[in-house]
Structure 1
Amino acid sequence: MEFTIAEVAEQTGLTAHTLRYYERAGLLDPPERDWNGHRRYSERDVGMLGILTRLRATGMSIAGMRRYAELCRVGPETFDERRELLEAHRREVLRRIAGLQSDLTLIEHKISVYGQARAPEPVPDLASP
């Protein structure tokens, strides 16, 4: 099955501009073209976009995503390298999650403090009657 750029954009949540950028950046193989030159994406392309979207959402750099895509193009003999790349990315994601959890703990503490505190009584304005 093949998809137009508009269909892929709708399925993935990526814009057509982003899809063309991913192609230029070497993250995605150039898709097939139909008789009038319009891109036709395969199910494999859509699957790769799903992975790339998750990698980007979790903070992987474009260079890291490009390396992952290059390894995928080579074939199964790069499974070890792909695993190592993803393990390194996982460590970075877990480090950021721990930092966010620490930040969230502080925010929750401040919410609790402000929830228990009473606003000070207003000071009467002695100049008004």
Structure 2
Amino acid sequence: MVDGVGVGRRGGLSIGQVSERTGLSVHTLRLYEREGLLIGPVRRDSGGRRLYSELDVEWLGNCTKFRASGMPLATIRHFAELARRGPGNEAERLALLREHEAEVRRRIEELDACLSLIRRKVGVYEELVANGVAEDPWSSRPDGPRPESTPSETRPEGSHSGSTYSESSHSESGHSAAGA
């Protein structure tokens, strides 16, 4: 047994076992092998069945994280090629990883801005629901449909306050937050 999973024939893990451990489908494992994304060739048993090592599983874990972070397959392939060549190209590997790190940080900043907007909108709609407001603040007005980019809302006649309502001026807690 290795980490609670039975070891396949001749000390290797079968493709099914690796699929189970990594969460990658058998099809994806074959694709990764065919595309040259693995750190080395996958051994085969006498019947031609793949036998993966613990190093393969560890590398596949890295590939999974690289893909989840948006790294293109071509970049993973290049990184794997560098790793297969062995020592002497660490600076190139570092540059590749730093470039991807910068892209991930940019995406995180973008997602943080998206999350901030969503949090503000959640606060607005929590307030609307708590106040029993039945109308949708984005519904059509007498002067035509409200464009998505319009930051302020004018409540229709007969609404609770009849005042101008701005989603962007309310914090998550439902309190007015100028400039939010």
- TM-score, with length taken from structure 1: 0.89
Q: 2:55 is paired with a residue of what secondary structure? A: helix
2:69 pairs with 29, 47, 58, which one?
58
| Deviation of the 1:42 alpha carbon | 1.2
The structure where helix makes up a greater share of residues is: 1
CA separation in 2, counterparts of 1:95 and 1:116? Answer: 32
CA separation in 2, counterparts of 1:44 and 1:120? Answer: 58
Aligned residues: 122
Q: 1:76 is paired with a residue of what secondary structure? A: coil
CA separation in 1, counterparts of 2:127 and 2:98? Answer: 43
- TM-score, with length taken from structure 2: 0.65
Matched, 1:12 2:26: no
- Decide whether aligned partners of structure 1 residues 16 and 120 sit closer, same or farther in structure 2, where only a CA change above 3 A counts: closer
Task: Write the letter of the residue equivalent to 2:68.
Answer: A
Aligned to 1:27: 37
Superposed CA offset, 1:67-92 (max 9, x none): 01001001121111111101100000
Matched, 1:74 2:101: no
| Deviation of the 1:23 alpha carbon | 0.7
| Deviation of the 1:120 alpha carbon | 4.0
Q: 2:78 is paired with a residue of what secondary structure? A: helix
Which runs of structure 1 show a deviation greater than 6 angstroms over 4 or more consecutive aligned residues? none
Q: Which has the larger radius of gyration?
A: 2
CA separation in 2, counterparts of 1:21 and 1:65? Answer: 13
In structure 2, stretches of 5+ residues that fail to align are 1-10, 136-157, 159-180
CA separation in 2, counterparts of 1:48 and 1:75? Answer: 15
Matched, 1:36 2:63: no
Larger RCO (CA under 8 A, 6+ residues apart): 1
| Deviation of the 1:113 alpha carbon | 1.1
In structure 1, stretches of 5+ residues that fail to align are 124-129
CA separation in 1, counterparts of 2:42 and 2:125? Answer: 55
Q: Percent identity?
A: 48
Aligned to 1:111: 122
